[in-house]
Structure 1
């Protein structure tokens, strides 16, 4: 069943969500999707149903290396939890406000849902490697269990509205308690697939005058809802189960902890209707399209057929989760370039831009897979013919590809490796040990 917010959407980035089967999406309602930790293999997209699923607050980002830290929600007091390093898999997908995104697009403090696996190769992990049973250990000091999962290589990282869209859920506002344009809301997530909209979770969330409220293409605030009579000037009011989508963060809250102040989450945004989130998704989609065109499309190499004197034909699978217009630029007979990268998608070399050291050639075939496409893959495979193959283009290796119509850009130093594809800048040692 397609979630109602998607049924009439004209936004391609929102329609992407329905390519995932609802059965897999429902796995996000469980803390752990598999009993046995799963380690991805080179050249294979890992099955989502084997991911360990958790959520936490984004507290650190190293965007150039596609890694960061989450304060993971466990069984204890959330504010005590130490930041937990994570890395995006090379084919890992980031979603923000219902659209494709890069880590640099997501504000610190945003609460994110993560679907993670063990490091594919612990020897080259860009974040610390933990014991496999880490998520079952009690961290002590009121922190509890589950805050340091060893599954810190992420296939899918998504904010709250993106998560709800994917799994077919919405939030229903039950009651608001307001004073001086701030207060609390009692709200429940409900699964739209249930005919009765049965609530699975109920939370008490804080909000304040800085909470952004979106209605169509309009941004309003708490004071506007009060002036319209939708919310009270002061005190409590029933909201009758009003369906919305929420953006969620965490911030310090007053209280002694007995009232949940140590674990309470905060509402950063409220989308009152479908049009409001579609509008936000469209802006985010355009931001991401510009980003990918400047950094090139990531893919991995399936096969290389070598010819004479450096000639070769490369078969590669484009990674998934992006706007359809980007994939449409990959056409037969289009001139293109391929450059080697490493697991963080940083270009190899690049003193004069990635195009300076890339293999030049032409796309000679484009094929689209039929049937179910694993998350992380676009299902689109290209064949590229070049007269000068470079070392970084080998089977199972990750590459980036630029169709000739995309611009040639110069990248900042932190986004490429200086003639050493195994260089990591900086090393995992930047993450403190708590």
Structure 2
């Protein structure tokens, strides 16, 4: 099987399947197809399937023309019919792994995908989980489900884990050129799966000894960021009490050429990975009676930032002899980071909720996001901003540092500004600006 699959990869005879056509799956499917491998995308959402088959892009990191070209060339097609799994040689699972209401891992999408694959997979298939999850998922959850097909892992199919490293909006690193980590069950599986990624991607492929190592590696990446952002958020709160500008402090610190990496504060953590992954690790650690105190403390700091930002907003208005209750507030940016249309786990949404709970008449504007859904409700933003509109608000709260916003116009017309992202760092007149 090893030799057969290596030859199929070399000759580009492998048919690829990608389960989940979201922020991770669609870019991966596009890269596989562009590299010359016929690709089938699987998704339970008919809307996504129809858009892909029409060559219509809905993911910012995918080039519109690339998608249209490979669809028209017959290199990529999408379906909700998992019976087509029988036709593929390589399957990447790229489905969501959220937390449930108890902040515990919800792996139902992974389980459901594995059960669908097991129903139709054939001998000689490579299966790779890319969804971020707790260490042990590949071997403890996926392997038994896939072996329920009657096929044996390592003999009839190969199974591995290769964590996604998508950073939406990153101008330098995309799916194509970001280094890949691969862990698999058995040396042959690791060799073949790594060869498959090398045939598609420009970035290095780093092989590790097991799926658990690769799973832990991904959580380490994001827990590292979570903890350091937590430190930045705690430092910015302390600096505010001391009357020190944290942003100036960190600019000075990062001049050191070794031993320091700059992390920045904000209204909280957003996106699918950084706010969620540490919960996966702390949940798994409890199974072994281990308490992840440093991780949990950083999560506590980050989780309280939306509330802290509302308290700061209240203080800014108080200085102007205004109460937050009844004041008109514009939240600028609901995306979780700048220059993207992704609001998953966005702290801006929590800031809006807390502003409204405090009685503020709150609206939002985001040039990338016209509306967002939260708890089953749809919230629409204002269509545009100009000098007159800005001047009508008692306070502007900047929660995403989008670069396609006229900050100079905002500064000239706003009554007061609370900049939680230091988006207005280049504005010289700062008499109405307060930074987090």
TM-score by length of 1: 0.29
Looking at secondary structure, tell me which structure has more helix per residue.
2
Which structure features the higher share of strand residues? Answer: 1
Q: Which has the higher contact order (CA 8 A, sep 6+)?
A: 1
The normalised TM-score by structure 2 is: 0.29
Q: Which has the larger radius of gyration?
A: 2
